[in-house]
Amino acid sequence: MSTHTLEHAAHGNGDSAHAGVKHHHVTSPMLLLGVYGALVFLTVITVGVTLGPDLGNLNIWVALLIAVVKAALVGLYFMHLRWDNPFNGAILVMSLLFVAIFIGFTIMDTHHYQQNFSLPGPGRIP
């Protein structure tokens, strides 16, 4: 029973016969370590970029791009989304999308109106 199960688990065969227990994908150690190495590398890069030349407005976008790549690695491999039901990944993407809409519209709003009530000078604390 146990060896049979292990084989199924290792191969990720969904059509196992017994009792409707479907064995899911098992991430291999090399893949886990590879993803871990990539995450550490990207952390070093994102700190290293701030020690280097100033990129002006690009700074935050570089930092965010690296963060998104790291988040994608964690989501796809550590959180199993690559082999999961796509609907689970859709929930994650949709919630991120709605956060982006939320922040985007708020920024547009404050960008237009903040100047009307936040003039520099003493005694003007938001």
Partner 1 sequence: MSTVESNVADHGNGDAAHAPHDPHLAHHFENPEQQYASAKLGMWVFLGTEILMFGGLFCAYSVYRHNHPDVFALAHEALNRWLGAANTIVLITSSLTMAWGVRASQLGSTTALRWLLGVTILGGYFFMGIKAIEYNTKWKHHLMPGSGNTYYAWNGQTPVKGFFNEEPEGEKTAEPTANKSEAPAVAEKTAPQVAAQAPRELPPGAAPDGNAGQPDHAVIFPNYQTPKGIAAKFGAADEQLKLDDLNTGDKQRLYTFFAVYFFMTGLHGLHVLVGMALIYWILLRASGARRRLWLVPAAPMSVGLFLAYLGVVCGSPRLIAIGVAVAAVSSLWAVVRYTIKAPRLATSEGEFGPDYYTPVDLVGLYWHLVDLIWIFLFPLLYLIH
User: DSSP label at 77?
Assistant: I
Task: For residue 2, state whether it binds partner 1 (rule: CB under 8 A).
Answer: yes
- Alpha-carbon Rg for the chain, nearest whole angstrom, is 23
Question: Least distance in Å: CB of 85 to partner 1?
Answer: 7
Return the residue of 11, 43, 82, 83 that touches partner 1, per CB under 8 A.
43
Binding track, positions 4-33, relative to partner 1; x by CB under 8 A? -xx-xxx-------xxxxxxx-xx-x--xx
Return d(Cα 95, Cα 105) in angstroms, integer. 16
Closest CA relative to residue 23, chosen from 8, 37, 38: 8
Residue 78 near residue 35 (C-beta atoms within 8 A): yes
The neighbour count for residue 40, using CB atoms within 10 Å, is 11
Q: How far is the CB of 12 from partner 1 (least distance, A)?
A: 10
> Rounded to whole angstroms, how far apart are CA atoms 76 and 87?
13
Q: Which two tokens stand for residue 37?
A: 């190495």
Does 54 engage in binding with partner 1 (CB under 8 A)? yes
Residue 76 lies near partner 1 (rule: CB under 8 A): no
Interface residues toward partner 1, by CB under 8 A: 2, 5-6, 8-10, 18-24, 26-27, 29, 32-33, 35-36, 39-40, 43, 46-47, 49-50, 54-55, 59-60, 63-64, 66-67, 70-71, 74-75, 77-80, 84-85, 87-88, 91-92, 94-96, 98-99, 102-103, 106-107, 110-111, 114, 118-126
